[in-house]
Structure 1
Amino acid sequence: MPSTKKTLYFMSSALMTAIAIGILGFAMSTQWAKTTMKCTQGNGNFSGTAVITLRLFQGNLVRQSCPIFGGIDNFQVFPELMNTEGITSVALHILTVCLLVLCLLFSAATILTSLYNSVSNPYETYMGPVGIYAYSSLSTCLSVLVLIFFAVNINATSMAEDLTKTITKNVDLKDRSTEMLTGFYLVIPYAVLSLLAIVLIYVYDHAAYTHRKEQQKPTEDAPKEIMMY
């Protein structure tokens, strides 16, 4: 059976990761970005506005005098993206969602490994601290990639314009301004908590290693009287 100290460290790591999963799960269900654009129907006078708010799977388009009258349109992100010509936007959005799913899977693996170590003493394999280092590191790295890919998709591609033009026909758009929302920023505490899970196990593992080294002093340090026998 593992010591109480080991159990506390690994249970704390599992708790940190569980909180991280809860945060990421909420992030995936809430709003990620809002883009505001000036809008017209082709007469050259940009008097209306279109505000598109995106979640990962659903979106909302609010139009004011765009093109002539206003309106509110709710839509599914993936079907509408498939109707656009923005191949890059589609690929980046699919990649973002896939990476988030992988983050959840690796975090779940971290929890299972932590719980297993809290009740047993496995060897130094993927079922021990090494596994937690690997799973949590992958979760952290992938979540950082999520932030990069989503920010690039929103700011460097015409994703918002393409979606707006697909939903509202025959409009011209300009002066885009984008604001990142709660879902995007919640990925950051998820990454931090995944790192903390690693730190907890490293602190325990380092202390355990130091203790083992102290228990295995080299024979050169033994008294000469003992060496004679």
Structure 2
Amino acid sequence: MPSRNKTAMFASAFSACVCSFVVICVALATQHWMSSEVHFSSPNTTTTVSLTYGLFSGTCKQFVEVGLEVSGKAFQVAENLSSIKTKSTITAIIVILVLSLLSSLLSSGFTCTNAVSNPYQTFLGPTGVYTWNSLSGIFILITMILFPVNIEENSLSVELARGCFSSLQTHTKSAHTYGYSYWIMLLVIILNIASILIIYFYDHARYSKKKEQERPIDIAPKDVIMF
């Protein structure tokens, strides 16, 4: 049976992994990754399109001249994209988030198993927890880099605005605000780091204790050992 200390430490790491899993699910399910104000001009008028969207769907509203709202509607992100770049990047982000979700799930399984069983000396032990948590954190970091790249370099908001309202003409400027669905991914990285640190401190303390128990034999006089 595992010691109380081991159970408590791995149970704490398990809680962090489960929270990480839940936060990734929230990020995938909610559509508040980005709010954009995209401005267009034509010979007769100036139009602003207000967008709020996530990885799968969003809403858009059109304002003409002095703030007169013309129309608003919901849209599917994939259907509004015509550029291969933007569509491929969005697909890559979704795939990477799913991989991060699976990594968090595996890490949760590893920490739960170790909390109720004796320590493993194989990949199923602390090494496995380090690996899956690190992968999850790396996937999230890549996602947080790719999404702004798709906004700034590939003009994702502009393309979605044109997909909502085909009559838009010359794009003049845009203003972007990242929503909570994007920023909560920082919490996933923090939880992954916390889980790794918890297991590291437990493993380090166990190793130090083992060395202390071996030390009296190491420093004992040779004649005593021979006797």
TM-score (norm 2): 0.92
Does 2:97 align with 1:100?
Answer: yes
CA distance in 2, matches of 1:186, 1:12: 20
**Gapped runs of 5+ residues in structure 2?**
none
Matched residue, 2:109: 112
Shift of 1:126: 1.9
- Taking a change above 3 Å as real, the CA distance of residues 39 and 28 of structure 1, as seen in their structure-2 partners, is same
Shift of 1:46: 4.8
The number of equivalent residue pairs is: 223
Shift of 1:89: 0.9
CA displacement, residues 181-208 of structure 1 (integer Å, 9 cap, x when unaligned)? 1101000011101110000000000000
Match for 1:133: what amino acid?
Answer: Y
Does 2:150 align with 1:149?
Answer: no
List aligned pairs for 1:28-47, cutoff 5 A: 28-30=28-30, 31-40=32-41, 42-43=42-43, 45-47=44-46
**Gapped runs of 5+ residues in structure 1?**
none
- Give the CA RMSD over aligned residues: 1.8
* Among candidates 193, 207, 215, match of residue 205 of structure 2: 207
- Identity score, percent: 29
CA distance in 2, matches of 1:224, 1:213: 19
CA distance in 2, matches of 1:55, 1:93: 10
* Among candidates 124, 129, 135, match of residue 126 of structure 2: 129
Matched residue, 1:178: 176
Matched residue, 1:73: 73
Contact 2:27 2:182 in 1 (8 A): yes
Shift of 1:169: 1.3
Moved over 4 A (4+): none
CA distance in 1, matches of 2:47, 2:75: 21
Contact 1:53 1:59 in 2 (8 A): yes
Match for 2:35: what amino acid?
Answer: K
Match for 2:71: what amino acid?
Answer: G
Contact 2:2 2:119 in 1 (8 A): no
TM-score (norm 1): 0.91
Matched residue, 2:15: 15
- Taking a change above 3 Å as real, the CA distance of residues 122 and 208 of structure 1, as seen in their structure-2 partners, is closer
CA distance in 2, matches of 1:25, 1:209: 36
